[in-house]
A and B are shown apart, each in its own frame.
Chain A
Amino acid sequence: MGKDNFPNVRMMQGNQACAEGALAAGCRFFAGYPITPSSEIAEHLSVALPRAGGKFIQMEDEIAAMGATIGASLTGLKSLTATSGPGFSLKQENIGYACMTEVPCVIINVMRGGPSTGMPTLPAQMDVQQARWGTHGDHSIIVLVAATAQDAYEQTIRAFNLAEKYMTPVILLLDEIVGHTTEKVVIPDASKIELIDRKKPDVPPEEYKPYAETEDLIPVLANFGTGYKYNVTGLCHNETGFPINDNAMIEKLIVRLTKKIVSNRDDIISNRTMSLDDAEIGIFAYGSVARSAQSAVTRCRAEGIKVGLLEPTVLWPFPKDEVLEMAKKVKAIIVPEMNLGQMAREVELASRCEAPILKLGRVDGNPILPDQIVKMVKEVV
Chain B
Amino acid sequence: MIMERYEIRLSGSGGQGLILAGKILAEAAAIYEGRNAVQTQSYGPEARGGASKAEVVISDGEIDYPKAIELDLLLSLTQESCTKYFSDLKDGSILIVDSGLVKDLPEGDYRVYSAPITDIAVNKVGKAVVTNIVALGIVTRISGIVSEESMKKAILARVPKGTEELNMQAFDEGFKVGEELLG
Residues of A within 8 A of B (CB): 1-6, 9-11, 37, 121-122, 176-177, 180-184, 288, 291-292, 294-295, 298, 367, 369-371
Contacts and interface: CB of A to CB of B under 8 A. Distances in A.
Given A121-B43, A121-B44, A180-B40, A6 B65 contact: no
Contact of B64 (A37, A182, A298, A371): A298
Contacts of A5: 31-34
Contacts of B40: 177, 180-182
A369 B31 contact: no
B31 A182 contact: no
Contacts of B65: 291-292, 294-295, 369-370
Contacts of A181: 38-40, 66
User: Chain B at the A interface: mostly helix, strand, loop or mixed?
Assistant: mixed
18 contacts: A1-B157, A2-B157, A5-B32, A10-B31, A11-B26, A11-B31, A37-B43, A180-B40, A181-B38, A182-B40, A183-B36, A183-B63, A184-B30, A288-B66, A292-B64, A294-B64, A298-B64, A369-B69
Nearest to A1: B157
Contacts of A292: 64-65
B33 to A, nearest CB: 8
B31 A295 contact: no
Contacts of A177: 40, 66-67
Given A5-B34, A295-B65, 14 more contacts: A5-B31, A9-B31, A11-B23, A11-B37, A177-B67, A180-B41, A182-B23, A183-B37, A183-B39, A183-B63, A183-B66, A184-B30, A288-B66, A295-B64
Contact of A3 (B23, B31, B33, B39): B31
Most chain B Cβ neighbours within 10 Å, of A5, A181, A370 = A181
Interface of B: 23, 26-27, 30-34, 36-41, 43-44, 63-67, 69, 153-154, 156-158
Contacts of A10: 31
Contacts of B36: 183-184
A291 B32 contact: no
B44 A6 contact: no
B38 A182 contact: yes
A182 B69 CA distance: 17
A182 B153 CA distance: 18
Contacts of B67: 177, 367
A64 to B, nearest CB: 28
Nearest to B34: A6
Contacts of A288: 66
B154 to A, nearest CB: 7
A21 B44 CA distance: 27
Q: Kindly list the 10 A-B residue pairs having the minimum CB-CB distance in the complex, ordered from nearest.
A: A2-B157, A294-B64, A121-B44, A182-B39, A295-B64, A183-B38, A295-B65, A291-B64, A184-B30, A11-B27
A291 B65 CA distance: 5
Contacts of A176: 43
A177 B44 CA distance: 13
B32 to A, nearest CB: 5
Contacts of A295: 64-65
B37 A180 contact: no
B26 A2 contact: no
B86 to A, nearest CB: 19
B23 A291 contact: no
A184 B23 CA distance: 11
A370 B5 CA distance: 15
Contacts of A183: 26, 30, 36-39, 63, 66
Contacts of B34: 5-6, 9
A14 to B, nearest CB: 10
A369 B70 CA distance: 12
Contacts of A294: 64-65
A6 B63 CA distance: 19
Contacts of B23: 11, 182
A280 to B, nearest CB: 21
A10 B30 CA distance: 8
B43 A180 contact: yes
A326 to B, nearest CB: 20
